[in-house]
Structure 1
Amino acid sequence: MSIQRIAAAATAALAAVALALAGASPAVAGSPHFIRNATTASLDGVSLVVDFKEAGLEAGAVETIQVTAHLDALYQCVNNGGKVPSDPKKTTISSDVSESDEFTAAKNGNLVGTLTVDPPDAASVLDCPSGQRSTLVSVTWSDVIIDDLTSGASLALTGTFSA
């Protein structure tokens, strides 16, 4: 075989490899994880708002993100004048509350989003007598955890948030 034929065959093989690589799908990202300093929790009124960033995902991946937090809340009956009756009817709940949604990772494999967790509506928690309405008096959110139910990434956020 001549040197020209060997060179032509090698060039053709390299061109085939280059074309195959150019048409290959993007590499699967490794190690999905939440970025701690870009994932925060705060209050908006009585609602817990979690802003998050997750990295290490495949571009375009659709992920189910869930925020779970422990809620301690006080509900009380208030009369139409905005006063608490002398014999106040009230209740306290202490339970875990969660919210989830689907988000799509960007081309760079990052996913940025926000989830808001709300306390139960006052009317669904406490039944007040005629002339009074159920009112949420205070909330405390703690033990906030954000999970990617698709990739398995998870991050616990520190702090207690009260309103």
Structure 2
Amino acid sequence: MISRRIFSLIAAVFAVLLFGTTAAHAGNAHFIASQTSYTTSGGTLTVKFKEAGLESGSTETIRISAHLDATYSCVNGGSKVPSDPKKTTISGDFSAEDDFTAGKNGNVSGSLSLFAPSASDVLDCPPGQRATFISAVWSNVSIDDLDSGAHLDL
């Protein structure tokens, strides 16, 4: 009789430790700043990230957001910018999101990209000229986990 009580007590303590540790671990979701960064190339912004403190197997919706200032110009058939070029600068906020699944260790690693609009979607050029992307400046880059609430400004 006493051994059953001891066994039940040990089983209860073990269950509390097991589930209590998992809940505490899963409740501390955060992006690891040293392993989360962004790069730019042309009109593309790519954010690579790692988030920890998630429940194993959970599906997390990750969103990146940034502000873009981009310049486009008309270029003639000789690939030269006319002396009186038609230019357009756009300015706006962009975002992208996708779902990622946490591994056994409660981590999610991945990347997401934002793209400047294509030149032909932004600028109408006179006959004999084509719209061309000139430059992009991305700012105010951030990443959010829409499920866990984790956030990081980059």
Q: Which of 2, 9, 14 is the equivalent residue of 1:6?
A: 2
Q: Which whole-Å CA distance do the structure 2 matches of 1:143 and 1:149 have between them?
A: 18
Equivalent residue pairs, number: 151
Q: Which whole-Å CA distance do the structure 1 matches of 2:35 and 2:14 have between them?
A: 38
Q: Which whole-Å CA distance do the structure 2 matches of 1:109 and 1:68 have between them?
A: 24
The CA deviation at 1:132 is: 1.0
**Percent of aligned positions that are identical:** 55
Runs of 5+ in structure 1 lacking a partner?
Answer: 158-163
Alignment-derived partner of residue 104 in structure 1? 101
Aligned-partner residue type, residue 40 of structure 1: S
Cα 1:39–1:19 shift into 2, 3 Å: closer
Q: Does 1:89 align with 2:86?
A: yes
The CA deviation at 1:14 is: 5.8
The CA deviation at 1:85 is: 1.6
Alignment of 1:18-33 (within 5 A): 27-28=22-23, 29-33=26-30
Aligned-partner residue type, residue 10 of structure 1: R
TM-score (norm 2): 0.87
Q: Which whole-Å CA distance do the structure 1 matches of 2:2 and 2:28 have between them?
A: 43
TM-score (norm 1): 0.82
Runs (4 or more) in structure 1 with deviation over 2 Å come to 9-21
Runs of 5+ in structure 2 lacking a partner?
Answer: none
RMSD: 2.3
